[in-house]
Amino acid sequence: MAAATTLHHRRRSILQLALLLLAASPAAMLATGGACESEEFPAGRSYATCADLPTLGASLHWTYDAAASSLSLAFAAKPPGAIGAGWVAWGVNPTGDGMKGAQTLLAFKSSGAYVVNTYNLTGYRPLSAASTPITFEATELAADEGAHGKVRLYGTLQLPKGMEAVNHIWQVGSTVANGVPAKHAFAQENLEAKGSLVLTGAGATEAAPAPVFISHDYLD
Ligand SMILES: *[C@@H]1O[C@H](CO)[C@@H](O)[C@H](O)[C@H]1NC(C)=O
């Protein structure tokens, strides 16, 4: 399930560790030297927790303010193909565990600068060049390029009160054509790019159950 996932906490108390040990499956326990911890963000961007996601070499970094139910996040992944030509996306699915219904942030380079669009993924159809409205208020959207061709997508989502575990999806694509992110590859690691995430960090990300219609489960 979560064998490839590790969680890293900046500040770790004995209590938190004990809770984590209780909550996590044996395969998802803290590991040292996780890749996500070495991600270097620009000044002013820091996150309480990071997780190496199980596929696509992606990582999620976040701070969840439970009182405000506000999620500040950075998603980092390397799109396949030429640097600057592809896209990265991360989203929360409040109604299911796959792509359909996901409320997604997607970053790509447009006229030399990174932009972040929002997409309400309503079905298996091509994306538009423009954002579509999503359920959650999304602010502070930005993206930049990290080391080794990684694209980092930043944003803050206003989640419903008490939504402390979410189903999330992530994805990368090699191409943006005429301002429209083109569909991603259909390799196993693309199709398995989804899971559940405990925002409070007490526990690890877990892979979601396999989708029923896996051959249609793409983001295009
Ligand atoms: C997203 O799409 C679904 C399906 O068309 C729709 O019911 C929902 O209202 C949309 N959400 C937003 C925020 O527009």
Residue 94's region, left for phi above 0, alpha for psi from -120 to 50, else beta, is alpha
- Nearest of 85, 65, 202 to residue 149 by alpha carbon: 85
3-state secondary structure the chain: CCCCCEEEECCCCHHHHHHHHHHCCHHHCCCCCCHHHHCCCCCCCCCCEEEECCCCCCEEEEEEECCCCEEEEEEEECCCCCCCCCEEEEEEECCCCCCCCCEEEEEEEECCEEEEEEEECCCCCCCCCCCCCCCCEEEEEEEEECHHHCEEEEEEEECCCCCCEEEEEEEEECCEECCEECCCCCCHHHHCCEEEEECCCCCCCEECCCCCCHHHCCCC
| CA–CA separation, 66 and 82 (whole Å) | 39
Is residue 50's pLDDT more than 60?
yes
Contacts made by residues 112-118, CB under 8 angstroms, sequence distance 24+: 114/142, 114/143, 114/144, 114/145, 114/151, 115/143, 116/141, 116/142, 116/143, 116/153, 116/154, 116/155, 117/181
Supply the pLDDT for residue 35: 86
Q: Does the beta carbon of 134 lie inside 6 Å of ligand 1?
A: yes
pTM: 0.81
Q: pLDDT of 6-39, one tens digit each?
A: 566 655 444 444 344 334 433 333 334 568 999 9
Supply the pLDDT for residue 22: 38
CB–CB of 145/114 below 8 Å?
yes
Q: pLDDT of 73-91, one tens digit each?
A: 999 999 999 999 999 999 9
| CA–CA separation, 155 and 62 (whole Å) | 10
Q: Does the beta carbon of 122 lie inside 6 Å of ligand 1?
A: yes
Q: How far is the CA of 157 from the centre of ligand 1 (A)?
A: 17
Q: Does the beta carbon of 133 lie inside 6 Å of ligand 1?
A: yes
Q: Does the beta carbon of 135 lie inside 6 Å of ligand 1?
A: yes
Q: Does the beta carbon of 33 lie inside 6 Å of ligand 1?
A: no
| CA–CA separation, 114 and 57 (whole Å) | 20
Q: pLDDT of 160-192, one tens digit each?
A: 999 989 999 999 999 999 999 999 999 999 999
Residue 204: pLDDT band by 50, 70, 90 thresholds?
very low
Supply the pLDDT for residue 174: 97
| Residue among 117, 120, 135 whose CB has most ligand 1 atoms within 8 A, to mutate | 120
**Tokens 């359909």 found at:** 100
**Domains in the chain, CATH or no CATH each:** 46-207 (2.60.40.1210)
**Tokens 């896209």 found at:** 87
Supply the pLDDT for residue 8: 65
